[in-house]
């Protein structure tokens, strides 16, 4: 798997989000702002030049948004991060001059595109000539196994964030819960399954970039490693079991990671599956109770696993609407529901700690 903890943990970034910086359209950029505090020095999007990150996202404070890479130089950045993931993952032609400018200025480059920058002869040679490194976060390991089901045997409680849709907050929920668990003293590992999670954690596998037969095997490897020395493993989810484009990745990840329990992520305002190019408006997303049934049924032939909490993404609601939605879903499902960014992840962390205790007690009981 990709393991670049040393390099990735030290970078200070210029973040390229040209033409796409916004609350819903620049996931990697936004997560860097949220989870790498102090290490994002500027964001590049000429549409918002002169505004601050806080103006555009609602968080991130006074970090400036700039029109060009050149304006970002001389601020102490050590790497350029590609902060958006266009559908299909290719490199827009208009970005090449920006990448060249960064490389020529001596910045390393960190990319989560499906297209591997290090496979591009021009960029590779330019980087080599300037002595800078290119990190392709989405480049899969050369050899992966087919999954065997071994992930079900780890001692740690394995919790997987699933969702009613893609791009809905599964990584964010896992990271917020991780921080809440760590604050309680729980030893918690984070299994990053996408480019943004890898950027933050420093290691992982972007499972959507793996050859399809090996998605489950990749998930299994991640769980086995994240379980080492930990009481809880949080496996970042991808896509959704009902997403017409990405459902295969989601099921492979679910069956490979073999979670003891799931947290369902949901955005109350979302009606149709999301996609960068169009909205799949010929179908409707299932309700939360229906989606709980779908997730639990999908893993039932392999093992029993329950949804034990609901993480809401309420960025486009008022505080009052968000609280109402959480209450309504708690009533409808009997599970704790909260927006772990806007409010407090504690109800979800609490459900996980309780499940971990049940698993430990069950194992002790089996041994006795």
| Rounded least distance, CB 218 to its own copies, Å | 9
Give min distance, CB of 164 to its own copies, in A: 10
To its own copies, the closest distance from the beta carbon of 255 in angstroms equals 5
CB of residue 367 vs its own copies: minimum separation in angstroms? 19
Q: How many CB atoms lie within 10 A of CB 7?
A: 15
Paired residues of 262 in beta bridges: 160, 307
What phi, psi does 108 have (nearest 5°)? -65, 165
- Smallest gap from Cβ 81 to its own copies, in A, equals 21
Q: Report the SS3 class of residue 309.
A: strand
Q: Residue 32 contacts by C-beta under 8 Å, 6 or more apart in sequence?
A: 13, 15, 39, 40, 81, 83, 196, 199, 200
Q: Considering beta carbons, is residue 202 or 286 the nearer one to its own copies?
A: 286
Report the alpha-carbon distance of residue 362 to residue 368 in Å, rounded. 10
Write the CA distances from 246 to 35, 155, 161, 286, integer angstroms: 25, 30, 15, 16
Q: In the 8-state DSSP scheme, what is residue 64?
A: B
Closest to 243 measured CA to CA, from 187, 291, 186: 291
Point out which residues bind its own copies (CB under 8 A). Answer: 87-89, 114, 145-149, 152, 207-213, 215-217, 241-253, 255-256, 275, 277-278, 280, 282-283, 285-286, 294, 297-298, 301-303
Nearest residue (CB) to its own copies, 114 versus 178? 114
Nearer to its own copies, 188 or 264 (CB): 264
Q: Which is nearer to its own copies, 85 or 227 (CB)?
A: 85
Residue 178 or 255: the one with the smaller Cβ distance to its own copies is 255
Q: Which two tokens stand for residue 280?
A: 């799949």
Q: What value does the CA radius of gyration of the chain take, rounded to a whole number of Å?
A: 20
Q: Could you tell me the smallest distance in angstroms from the CB atom of residue 321 to its own copies?
A: 26
Residue with smaller CB distance to its own copies, 86 or 345: 86
């Amino acid at each position: 798997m990709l393991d670049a903890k040393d390099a990735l943990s030290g970078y200070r970034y210029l973040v390229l989000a040209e033409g796409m910086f916004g609350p819903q359209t620049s996931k990697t950029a936004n997560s860097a702002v949220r989870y790498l505090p102090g290490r994002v020095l500027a964001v590049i999007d000429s549409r918002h030049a002169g505004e601050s990150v806080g103006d555009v996202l609602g968080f991130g404070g006074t970090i400036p948004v700039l029109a060009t890479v050149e304006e970002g130089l001389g601020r102490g950045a050590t790497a350029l991060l590609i902060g958006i993931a266009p559908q299909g993952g290719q490199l827009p032609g208009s970005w090449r001059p920006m990448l060249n400018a960064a490389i020529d200025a001596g910045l390393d480059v960190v990319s989560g595109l499906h297209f591997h920058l290090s496979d591009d002869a021009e960029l590779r040679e330019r980087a080599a000539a300037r002595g800078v490194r290119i990190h392709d976060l989405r480049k899969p390991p050369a050899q992966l196994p087919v999954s065997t089901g071994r992930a079900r045997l780890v001692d740690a409680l394995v919790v997987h964030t699933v969702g009613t849709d893609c791009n809905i907050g599964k990584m964010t929920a896992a990271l917020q819960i991780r921080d809440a668990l760590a604050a309680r003293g729980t030893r918690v590992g984070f299994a990053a399954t996408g480019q943004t999670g890898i950027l933050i954690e420093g290691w992982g596998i972007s499972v959507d970039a793996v050859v399809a037969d090996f998605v489950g095997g990749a998930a299994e490897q991640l769980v086995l490693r994240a379980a080492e020395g930990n009481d809880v493993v949080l496996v970042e989810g991808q896509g959704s079991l009902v997403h017409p484009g990405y459902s295969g990745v989601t099921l492979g990840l679910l069956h490979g990671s073999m979670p003891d329990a799931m947290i369902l992520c949901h955005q109350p305002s979302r009606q149709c599956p999301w996609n960068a190019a169009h909205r799949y408006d010929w179908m409707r997303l299932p309700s939360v109770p229906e989606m709980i049934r779908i997730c639990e049924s999908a893993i039932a032939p392999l093992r029993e696993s329950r949804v034990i909490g609901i993480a809401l993404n309420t960025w486009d609601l008022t505080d009052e609407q968000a609280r109402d939605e959480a209450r309504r879903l708690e009533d409808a499902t009997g599970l704790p529901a909260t927006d772990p960014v806007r409010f407090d992840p504690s109800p979800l962390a609490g459900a996980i700690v309780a499940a971990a205790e049940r698993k430990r007690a069950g194992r002790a009981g089996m041994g006795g």
